[in-house]
Amino acid sequence: MPAGLPVLGACPLDCPDGCSWVVTVRDGKAVGLRGNPDHPYTRGALCTKVNRWLERAAQPDRILYPLRRTGRKGEGRFERIGWDEALDEIAGRLADVVGEHGGEAVWPYWGTGTLGYLQGLEGYSGRRFFNVLGASAHDANICSAAGTAGLAAALGSPGGMDPEDLAHSRLILLWGTNPLTSGHHVWKFVQAARRAGAHVVAIDPVRTRTAQQADEHLAPLPGTDAALALALLHVVVGLGAQDEDFLARRTHGWAEFRERVAEFPPDRAAEITGVPAERIVALGERVARTRPTAIRATQGLQRHSGGGAALRVLAAVPGVTGDWARLGGGLTFSTSGHVKLNKEALFRDDLRPGPVRTLSMSRLGEGLLDVRDPPVKALFVIAANPVGSTPHQARVRAGLAREDLFTVVLEQFPTDTADYADIVLPATAQHEHADLHEGYGHLYLTWNEPAVAPPGECLPTSETFRRLARRMGLDEPSLYDSDERLAEQLLASDHPWMAGITLDRLRKEGFVRMSVPAPFLPYADGFPTPSGRLEFLSEGAAEAGADPLAGYTPPAEVTDAARAARYPLALVSAASHEFLNTTFSNNPELRRRSGGPTVRVHPDDAERFGLRDGQRVRVANDRGAFEATLRVTDQVRTGVAATSKGHWPKLSGGANANAVVDERDTDLGAGPVFHDTRVEITAIPDDQENAR
């Protein structure tokens, strides 16, 4: 490490690990960045991507000044303007829109570029400002909504076990999660369990980096996990290995759920999932005899029509085995359910002039093209790149191209989305602003102290909205609270887990573990559901239009037989190793390492469709198409095509995987269905390729 002053900060990215980092500052410049060795989860290591954080922040394509569009929408031609001019124009246009169409015609579209409470999604920086205007509410459902809703139905909260307690597990099911790519710090705890003799199973249609390191890998067809889990329970119950005491005292609806389990013998599940029945029986026997068993499920398997149902059934597994009562047993999805910050005090939704409608982050195309009364007339895109990240790219582009839409994009880089902006405002990067973070894969809060002055005329998002409020002449005093004041309000929580956590302490120590009981058995005293028990049978789910009983919901694009026949492969577009969503995708070195967009298929499927390794192909359906290089490999099971999310469309021939993804909701939580997408793959003829 270079000599200089260490400044403690936090990685802002949308990743469960929420790392604590140390910036080294010399002569006012950030000259080094490393993982905080003292943080129990980060333990000194960052990742392939964030090791290049400072390099990314200093890239020549960084946006440093406010910009005004001079070309057509989408063309990406801009001129530099001053902040005064930018704020005047935005304030004027906003006042017109609100005056003519009402506040709900304004859509503040927050993304996951930073999860900070002060600058980003968690706290919705600027939310107070938009509340005063009466803007539409934004449902940030793009990532984990289905699983969160499914777990809420079953457990009452998505919190689950502390991932660090995986170290105490004897059997770990890594289910629809690829931690060695999407959040590798949990691996230390998996390895600790292994050293103590634990068996690790990956359940994923793709033999990922993680699956390659596991002791065993099962490759179900996408969207069929609930059927697999029900069959594992069928084996458990067949062996009489259910925990009758736990079931009687702690669960609701066991008699009904037991009948549902009986409907899924391994043979039937084998047909649905494509996993051989004897593998299901063997794993079911292992679950039956191994205490404690833990399930690590993250977002992958809930990006399906039945994503909510899948998490309900997965949460039921430790209910049947009684593992919820054991340290190292249960399920972990997102620890954010355990964070007890005073979010109401930060959000101030009471500032709204009245009730407002909610618009869905995963349905931006619909929001801009179809929504009426009032139509969306002003769009603020904050730390998001929806052209690259949101379903049905063609519709997103069509919406953003509307001439009567006023679009402001707060960004660090000239993304495909920024290309549609009327005004682009330059945003600071994490080491240039203050923020407060949780990690959704651990139980620590982390403070991010600004390490250096912002480059050019970049401003923190919080400051941008203070200036805009002033420009609009808004007199609500809380719009002008400083970042420190906001952090203090957020930390002022009377929940016992927040006891003793102050801004002073966070600043001094960098991070603080929430004061959860030790050992941490989150549902030791019951579940936060209406019945106080784990609910196999849930009235809340029934009210949301789902099956009252936890069960299997097939993927919609499979149930539609005509569609499945027309588009023979199920496309999974999961986390890429080199990018974080579309963040880092414009870093030259990481782009080079990614090898550009690829799509992997099994040798049998390649033969079936007459495709060869290394060929340029078109991955398409009736919504659109993207181009990729074909990789023929048995890492992918038959019937599946695997690509990765995150490529910038404009650096990849104009489209990425979201060109083919539908704007359709999951069963619970109204999340997106990224991995529930049927496609066909055809070779791009060589002459066409040469002509390009």
Ligand X SMILES: Nc1nc2c(c(=O)[nH]1)N[C@H]1C(S)=C(S)[C@@H](COP(=O)(O)OP(=O)(O)OC[C@H]3O[C@@H](n4cnc5c(=O)[nH]c(N)nc54)[C@H](O)[C@@H]3O)O[C@H]1N2
Binding site for Mo ion (CB under 5 A): 14, 143
Q: Does 208 bind ligand X (CB under 6 A)?
A: yes
Q: Is 692 exposed, middle or buried (0-12, 13-18, 19+ CB in 10 A)?
A: exposed
CB 442 within 8 A of CB 39: no
Residue 614 and residue 630 in contact, taking contact as beta carbons nearer than 8 Å? yes
Residues in the chain: 692
Q: What's the count of helices (H) and strands (E) in the chain, helices before strands?
A: 26, 27
In the complex with ligand X, the residue whose CB is nearer, 297 or 611, is: 297
Cβ distance to ligand X smaller for residue 115 or 606: 115
Interface pick for ligand X out of 18, 113, 150, 329 (rule CB under 6 A): 113
Select from Mo ion, ligand X, none the partner in contact with residue 434, using the beta carbon and a kind-dependent cut-off of 5 to 8 Å.
Answer: none
Compute how many residues bind ligand X; rule: CB under 6 A. Answer: 64
Please give the residues from 247 up to 286 whose contact with ligand X meets the rule CB under 6 A: none
CA dihedral 284, 289, 292, 293 (to 10 degrees): -10
Question: Using an 8 Å Cβ cutoff, are 300 and 204 in contact?
Answer: yes
Handedness of CA 663, 174, 333, 513 (dihedral sign): negative
Pick the closer one to ligand X by CB: 242 or 677.
677
User: According to CB under 6 A, which residues from 356 to 415 bind ligand X?
Assistant: 382-386, 388-389, 410-413, 415
The whole-angstrom separation of Cα 88 and Cα 430 is 27
Query: Are the C-beta atoms of 555 and 230 separated by less than 8 Å?
Result: no
- Sole binder of ligand X in the list 152, 371, 427, 472 (CB under 6 A): 427
Closest CB to ligand X among residues 254, 626: 626
Residue 175 interacts with ligand X (CB under 6 A): yes or no:
yes
Q: Which lies closer to ligand X via its Cβ, residue 24 or residue 385?
A: 385
If one asks whether residue 674 binds ligand X (CB under 6 A), the answer comes out as yes
The residue (of 108 and 329) whose beta carbon lies closer to ligand X is 108
Identify any residues that bridge with 409 across adjacent strands, giving them in sequence order: 381, 424
Contacting range for ligand X; rule: CB under 6 A; set: 148-156, 395-403, 491-499, 657-665: 657-665
Cα gap 656→224, rounded to integer Å: 25
Partner whose binding site includes residue 57, from ligand X, Mo ion, none (CB under 5 to 8 Å by kind): none
Structure tokens at 331: 């399920």
| Least distance between ligand X and beta carbon 147 (Å) | 9
CB 8 within 8 A of CB 22: yes
From residue 217 to residue 236, the character string flagging contacts with ligand X as x (rule: CB under 6 A) and all else as - is ---x-xx-x-----------
> Binding segment for ligand X among 88-96, 173-181, 336-344, 625-633 (CB under 6 A)?
173-181
Query: Distance between CA atoms of 563 and 555, rounded to whole angstroms?
Result: 12
User: By C-beta, is 218 or 498 nearer to ligand X?
Assistant: 218
Q: Out of 133, 135, 153, 206, which residue is the one contacting ligand X (CB under 6 A)?
A: 206
Min separation Cβ 672 and Mo ion, Å: 10
Q: Is 130 in the site for ligand X (CB under 6 A)?
A: no
Near ligand X by CB under 6 A, which window of 77-85, 301-309, 526-534, 543-551? 301-309
Out of ligand X, Mo ion, none, which partner does residue 583 contact, by CB within 5 to 8 A per kind?
ligand X
Is the CB of residue 50 less than 8 Å from the CB of residue 470?
no
> 558: which residues sit within 8 A by CB, 6+ positions away?
221, 223, 564, 570, 678
- Binding of ligand X at residue 143 (CB under 6 A)? yes
Q: Rounded CA gap, 54 and 559, in Å?
A: 47
> Which of 24, 114, 251, 335 forms a contact with ligand X (CB under 6 A)?
114
- Residue 661 touches ligand X, criterion: CB under 6 A: yes
**Taking Cα atoms as reference points, which of 309, 345, 595 lies closest to residue 481?**
345
Segment interacting with ligand X, rule: CB under 6 A, options 98-106, 160-168, 544-552, 653-661: 653-661
- The residues near 689 (Cβ < 8 Å, ≥ 6 apart) are 616
Ramachandran region, residue 35 (left: φ > 0; alpha: ψ -120 to 50; beta: rest): beta
Residue type, 570: A
Residue 276: Cβ within 10 Å count: 12
Q: How far is the CB of 241 from ligand X (least distance, A)?
A: 23
Is there binding between residue 126 and ligand X (CB under 6 A)? no
598 is a site residue for ligand X (CB under 6 A): no
Is residue 573 involved in binding ligand X (CB under 6 A)? Answer: yes
Cis omega (within 30 of 0) on the bond before 66? Answer: no
Closer by beta carbon to ligand X, 411 or else 557: 411
Q: Which of 260, 645, 647, 650 binds ligand X (CB under 6 A)?
A: 645
Among 10, 11, 15, 229, binds ligand X (CB under 6 A): 15
Shortest separation between residue 637's beta carbon and ligand X, angstroms: 10
- DSSP at 681: E
Alpha-carbon distance of 71 to 570, in angstroms, equals 38
Cα 642 from Cα 453, distance rounded (Å): 42
Cis peptide before 519 (omega within 30 of 0): yes
Instruction: Answer for the pair 673, 308: CB distance below 8 angstroms, yes or no.
Output: no
Task: Give the residue, chosen from 24, 169, 177, 407, that forms a contact with ligand X under the rule CB under 6 A.
Answer: 177
Question: With CB cut-offs between 5 and 8 Å by kind, which of Mo ion, ligand X, none does residue 181 bind?
Answer: ligand X
Binding test (CB under 6 A) with ligand X, winner from 300, 322, 450, 669: 300
As measured in angstroms, the least distance from the Cβ of 578 to ligand X is 7
For residue 325, what is the DSSP state?
Answer: G
Q: Which of 168, 577, 631, 650 binds ligand X (CB under 6 A)?
A: 577
Q: Return the residue of 242, 290, 298, 489 that touches ligand X, per CB under 6 A.
A: 298
Q: For tokens 């047993």, what's the residue?
A: 329
What is the Cα 180 distance to its own chain's centre? Answer: 16
Instruction: Give whichever of 55 and 539 is closer to ligand X, judged by the CB atom.
Output: 55
Nearer to ligand X, 26 or 80 (CB): 80
List of residues 6+ apart from 113 with CB closer than 8 A: 12, 14, 120, 121, 382, 383, 384, 385, 412, 583
Asked if 260 contacts 549 with a C-beta cutoff of 8 angstroms, the reply is yes
Angstrom CA distances, 230 to 233, 237, 266, 562, stand at 5, 10, 9, 28
Give the nearest distance from C-beta 223 to ligand X in angstroms.
Answer: 5
**Considering CB distances under 5 to 8 angstroms, the limit depending on partner class, which of ligand X, Mo ion, none binds residue 385?**
ligand X
Question: Of residues 161, 579, 599, 639, which one binds ligand X by CB under 6 A?
Answer: 579
- In what helix (H) or strand (E) does residue 388 lie, and over which residues does it extend? helix 386-389
Neighbours of 572 (CB within 10 A): 28
- Least distance (Å) between residue 95 CB and ligand X: 23
Q: Select the residue interacting with ligand X from 7, 9, 11, 14 (CB under 6 A).
A: 14
CB count within 10 Å of CB 344 equals: 12
Q: Which is nearer to ligand X, 225 or 535 (CB)?
A: 225
Amino acid at 456: G
**Which residues sit at the interface with ligand X, rule CB under 6 A?**
14-15, 111-114, 119-120, 142-143, 175-178, 181-183, 203-206, 208, 220, 222-223, 225, 298-301, 303-304, 382-386, 388-389, 410-413, 415, 427, 461, 572-577, 579-583, 645-646, 657-658, 661, 674-675
